């Protein structure tokens, strides 16, 4: 994403984050604000919905954000004195989370396309995707990542469709071709017959 590259230059040297029990936290308030302002990265500890980047709290990054920002050189993650690479982080999270590698490919692709990607857990999907960011617009997309070999249960599609329609969002299924690693997005549009 070009804005991430531009903002990386604005950040200057990489921001230091600490890894502890699977969590990645930026303890510097100033750096936390920079990351949040740069692309709505992270969640300020103890603040449910920040209204602006002027908060006074450390920032916890999601596993996807931590790997992505580390890969981009925007953050450096330390476990004690040991610097962890993006590959180290991804390897750890792949052991902890089902389909982490596939979900990360989708996360990175959406970020590279300029979207703001947040957790979609409260909607029962992988990601809630914004065009501009939380507090600026409502997330127009709910994205579920499924293996390309998975079978779709019609009941699950109807359930997801009803939920996404009731919250005025488009339901998207992202699948990854195992051989080529190409991502295919299936966007559902609901209409009255």
Active site residue 169: yes
Distance CA 31, CA 35 (A): 6
Q: What is the pLDDT of residue 10?
A: 56
Write out the two tokens for 84: 């962890």
Active site residue 5: no
Residue partners of 133: CB distance under 8 A and separation at least 6: 39, 40, 116
One of 169, 181, 185, 192 is an active-site residue; which one? 169
Q: What is the pLDDT of residue 107?
A: 98
Q: What is the pLDDT of residue 192?
A: 65
* Domains assigned to the chain: 2-95 (3.40.1170.20), 99-188 (3.40.1350.10)
Residues 2-41 have pLDDT tens digits of 455 445 545 579 999 999 999 999 999 999 999 999 999 9
pLDDT per residue of the chain (193 residues) written in tens, 0 to 9: 345 544 554 557 999 999 999 999 999 999 999 999 999 999 999 998 888 889 999 999 999 999 999 999 999 999 999 999 999 999 999 999 999 999 999 999 999 999 999 998 988 889 999 998 888 888 889 999 998 888 877 777 777 777 776 667 888 989 998 888 899 998 887 766 6
pTM reported for the whole predicted model? 0.88
Q: What is the pLDDT of residue 11?
A: 56
One of 41, 93, 107, 130 is an active-site residue; which one? 130
Burial 131-167 (b: 16+ CB within 10 A, else e): eeeeeeeebbbbbbbbeeeeeeeeeeeeebeeebeee
Active site residue 165: no
Q: What is the pLDDT of residue 84?
A: 97
One of 113, 131, 138, 181 is an active-site residue; which one? 138
């Amino acid at each position: 994403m070009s804005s991430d590259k531009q903002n990386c230059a604005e950040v200057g040297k990489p921001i230091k984050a600490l890894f502890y029990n699977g969590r990645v936290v930026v303890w510097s308030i100033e750096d936390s604000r920079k990351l949040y302002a740069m692309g709505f990265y992270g969640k300020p500890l103890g603040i449910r919905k920040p209204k602006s980047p002027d908060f006074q709290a450390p920032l916890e990054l999601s596993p996807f954000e931590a790997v992505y920002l580390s890969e981009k050189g925007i953050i450096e993650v330390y476990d004690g004195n040991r610097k962890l690479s993006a590959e180290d982080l991804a390897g750890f999270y792949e052991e902890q989370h089902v389909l982490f590698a596939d979900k990360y490919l989708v996360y990175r692709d959406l970020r590279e396309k300029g979207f703001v990607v947040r957790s979609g857990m409260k909607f029962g999907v992988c990601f809630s995707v914004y065009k501009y960011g939380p507090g600026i617009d409502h997330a127009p997309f709910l994205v579920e990542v499924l293996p390309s070999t998975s079978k779709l249960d019609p009941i699950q599609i109807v359930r997801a469709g009803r939920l996404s329609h009731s919250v005025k969002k488009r339901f998207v299924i992202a699948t990854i071709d195992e051989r080529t690693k190409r991502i295919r997005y299936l966007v559902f549009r609901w209409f009255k017959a």
